[in-house]
């Protein structure tokens, strides 16, 4: 099979020769909301996208807007702030808004974008809990716009190769998944350590990769969870901000998972899947790449791609052409992770095995 993302190979001269398609219907015109560190990464990656184009910005900082206008040729009429961005409804030159702000802002911002009739792309975690997630899904449905989540790993070639092997029974019946997700967080004053803005701690930010990964690696949604929290630095990780949580899932098939989420270990980024015929591992599993992995058959050798470039190309096809990705990354998927995270926090508090029901 031809490699579908060949034009995104890093360092390939191919990507530089491809110009944006003449048919504007095929190019998704995107405004980024939140010009912070990940927003900057997405904007850079979008320069190599052939099917998405950065055309607008929404920011509370006028100097950043000026910088981005200069750098990306963004016209004044496509610049908004957090007070006036509802007016985007009158702008026919923007198709979608990509929300890349702190977690607790996502829900209201997404609903405002949907009410303005624009498609919503939202960073993970999509919101703070199941209730918020469902409200976002409803608002997008009501306004007949798409809601997609920045789950870039669901489009990553080595990850998809493991999914293919599992589906074609090369690993046999799946019995076990291990997901380890963490990094050592720095500045104690950042929003990620503020419960009101982050909605929690490591679980909301990085543990979610193991939650989401458990689902696409095992190929099922969990039906129960047990979880244990440990905190070694209560000064830095205040009430409601989790430092480390270990959690275990059970799946309908009988497979189980054992995962860890932390803000206090470095280079922790590993997935391991075991079946009755073999194994697959990824380490690093969710970083910006290169993603490295091997199976009982040998190393995984899909070439490195820029995740955000692939994501913006693929999301363009999902929004403009109704393309269904191999692994879905829509608002329902985002809400399922929130249902599971709600259950993890519940299990931490109760000390008991909690049921999970992600039925929508
Ligand atoms: P950041 O702090 O670098 O940027 C956040 C931006 O939001 C800043 O420009 C800030 O000015 C703006 N902002 C607007 N209102 C704000 C408010 N009330 N308080 C604080 N900032 C406000 O953060 P980031 O790393 O870019 O993360 C943004 C989002 O992207 C988060 O939801 C995060 O989980 C997600 N993210 C995803 C990935 C990924 O790989 N998919 C990677 C990093 C971050």
What's the pLDDT score for residue 36? 98
Please determine, for residue 11, whether its predicted confidence score (pLDDT) is greater than 70: no
From the CA of 343, how far away is ligand 1's center (Å)? 25
* Alpha-helix runs per DSSP H in 116-205: 130-142, 157-167, 195-198, 202
Q: Is the confidence at residue 7, as pLDDT, over 90?
A: no
* % of the chain surpassing 90 pLDDT: 92
Q: Tell me the average pLDDT across 144-160.
A: 98
| 34 in contact with ligand 1, CB cutoff 6 A | yes
Minimum-distance ligand 1 atom for the alpha carbon of 307: 40
Q: Residues with Cβ < 8 Å from 56, sequence gap 6 or more?
A: 29, 30, 31, 32, 74, 78, 79, 80, 88, 91, 93, 94, 97
Q: Which atom of ligand 1 is nearest to the CA of 39?
A: 26
pLDDT tens for each residue of 246-282? 999 999 999 999 999 999 999 999 999 999 999 999 9
Q: Which atom of ligand 1 is nearest to the CA of 150?
A: 41
The per-residue pLDDT for range 64-83, each reduced to its tens digit, is 999 999 999 999 999 999 99
The Cα 178–Cα 217 span in angstroms is 10
**pLDDT above 80 (res 21):** no
- Looking at residue 23, its pLDDT comes to 52
Look at residue 25 in the predicted model and tell me its pLDDT. 63
H helix count then E strand count, the chain: 11, 15
For residue 360, the model assigns a pLDDT of 86
Q: For a ligand 1 pocket test, name from 45, 68, 101, 128 the mutation site with the most ligand atoms within 8 angstroms of its C-beta.
A: 101
Where do the structural domains in the chain lie, given as residue ranges? 17-152, 153-303+329-355
Please report which confidence band the pLDDT of residue 46 belongs to, taking 50, 70 and 90 as the band edges.
very high
- Using the mean position of ligand 1's atoms as its centre, give its distance from the Cα of residue 267 in Å: 21
At residue 5, does pLDDT exceed 50? no
Q: What pLDDT is stored for residue 2 in this prediction?
A: 36
| CB contact burial 124-162 (16+ within 10 A = b; e otherwise) | bbbbbbbebbbbbbebbeebebbbbbbbbbbbbbbbbbb
Q: Which of 80, 98, 209, 345 is catalytic?
A: 209
Q: Is residue 107 in contact with ligand 1, taking CB distance under 6 Å?
A: no
- Answer whether 56 contacts ligand 1 (Cβ < 6 A): no
37 CA to centre of ligand 1 in angstroms: 7
The residue assigned the tokens 């923007």 is: 94
Per-residue confidence (pLDDT) for residue 15, from 0 to 100: 37
Q: How many CB atoms lie within 10 A of CB 283?
A: 17
Mean model confidence pLDDT for the chain:
94
CA of 259 to the centre of ligand 1 (A): 25
CA atoms within a 13 Å half-sphere pointing along the CA-CB vector of 137: 17
pLDDT of residue 48: 98
**Residue-wise pLDDT tens digits, 198-220:** 999 999 999 999 999 999 999 99
124 is catalytic: yes
User: Domain 17-152 carries which CATH code?
Assistant: 3.40.50.720
CA of 187 to the centre of ligand 1 (A): 15
Ligand 1 touching residue 183 (CB < 6 A):
no
* Residue keyed to tokens 């860890």: 260
Q: Is 209 a catalytic residue?
A: yes
Specify the DSSP class assigned to residue 219. T
Give 13's pLDDT tier (boundaries 50, 70, 90): very low
3-state secondary structure of 129: coil
- Provide the whole-model pTM: 0.94
Least confident span in 18-27, 82-91, 175-184: 18-27
Is the CB of 103 inside a 6 Å radius of any atom of ligand 1? Answer: yes
- What pLDDT score does 107 carry? 99
pLDDT at position 216 is: 98
Q: Report residue 237's pLDDT band, with 50, 70 and 90 as the boundaries.
A: very high
User: What would the two tokens of residue 285 be?
Assistant: 């599993």
Which of the following is catalytic: 124, 216, 263, 336? 124
- State the average pLDDT over residues 147-160: 98
Q: Which of 36, 120, 122, 128 is the pocket-test mutation for ligand 1 (most atoms within 8 Å of CB)?
A: 36
- For the CA of 40, the nearest atom of ligand 1: 26
Class of domain 153-303+329-355: alpha beta
SS3 294: strand
- Distance (angstroms) between ligand 1 centre and the Cα of 105 equals 10
């Amino acid at each position: 099979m031809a490699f579908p993302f060949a034009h995104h190979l890093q360092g390939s001269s191919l990507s530089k020769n491809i110009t944006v398609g003449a048919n504007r219907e095929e190019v998704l015109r995107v405004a980024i909301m939140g010009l912070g560190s990940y927003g900057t990464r997405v904007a850079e990656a979008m320069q190599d996208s052939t099917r998405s184009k950065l055309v607008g910005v929404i920011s509370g900082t006028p100097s950043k807007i000026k910088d981005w206008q200069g750098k990306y040729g963004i016209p004044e009429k496509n610049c908004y702030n957090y007070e006036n961005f509802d007016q985007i409804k009158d702008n026919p030159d923007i198709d979608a808004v990509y929300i890349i702000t702190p977690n607790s802002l996502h829900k209201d911002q997404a609903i405002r974008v949907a009410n303005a009739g624009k498609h919503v792309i939202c960073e993970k975690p999509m919101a703070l809990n199941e209730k918020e997630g469902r409200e976002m899904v409803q608002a997008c449905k009501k306004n007949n716009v798409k809601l997609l989540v920045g789950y870039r790993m669901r489009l990553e070639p080595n990850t998809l190769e493991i999914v293919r092997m599992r589906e074609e029974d090369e690993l046999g019946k799946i019995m076990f998944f291990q997901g380890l997700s963490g990094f050592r967080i720095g500045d104690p004053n950042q929003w990620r350590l503020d419960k009101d803005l982050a909605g929690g701690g490591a679980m909301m930010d990085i543990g979610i990769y193991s939650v989401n990964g458990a689902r696409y690696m095992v190929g099922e949604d969990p039906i129960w969870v047990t979880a244990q929290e440990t905190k070694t630095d209560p000064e830095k990780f205040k009430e409601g901000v989790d430092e480390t949580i270990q959690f275990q899932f059970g799946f309908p098939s009988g497979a189980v998972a054992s995962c860890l989420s932390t803000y206090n270990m470095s280079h922790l980024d590993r997935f391991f899947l075991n079946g009755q015929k073999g194994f697959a591992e990824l380490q690093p599993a969710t970083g910006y790449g290169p993603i490295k992995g091997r199976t009982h058959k040998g190393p995984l050798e899909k070439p490195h791609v820029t995740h955000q470039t692939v994501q913006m190309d693929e999301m363009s096809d999902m929004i403009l052409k109704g393309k269904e990705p191999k692994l879905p990354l829509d608002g329902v998927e985002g809400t399922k992770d929130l249902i599971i995270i709600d259950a993890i926090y519940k299990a931490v508090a109760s000390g008991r095995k909690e049921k999970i029901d992600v039925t929508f």
